[in-house]
Amino acid sequence: MGANYSSTLHEANNMPTTVPQIKRSQVIAFHSTTKWKLHFDSLKDTNKLVVIDFTATWCGPCKYMEPVINDFAAKYTDVEFVKIDVDELAKVAEEYGVQAMPTFVLIKKGKVVDKVVGADKDGLKKKIEKHRAMFI
């Protein structure tokens, strides 16, 4: 009954019945090396900071960092957040020298500008804030 009343009230006042959605950045997961390379190549000519989260489904610290990364993606909408499972895309992880999870690689204009190894929320936040503000 409350839902019908609420809907009727909004219609009577010419108010939209849906709440506008806030645009949120999201974490993009890649499961194909080819798709990752195409995406990576498309970002090489931009000044946008890209944070790659190298993760694994069996990794406890990675699971701890997942909501942190989602929060960062919502907060830093000018930064691109990418998630790569090291077991699915082992060659990509190897290219970036990933030896422990989680590893966060920060890239700008196609070049690695920084790296965080481990579930270091504060360290990652500081590096994101440092590099998103820098112009190369």
Q: Would you name the residues annotated as active-site residues?
A: 59, 62
CB-based contacts of 113-118 (< 8 A; 24+ apart in sequence): 113/49, 118/61
What torsion do the CA atoms of 40, 103, 62, 128 make, to the nearest 10 degrees?
-70
**Using an 8 Å Cβ cutoff, are 24 and 78 in contact?**
no
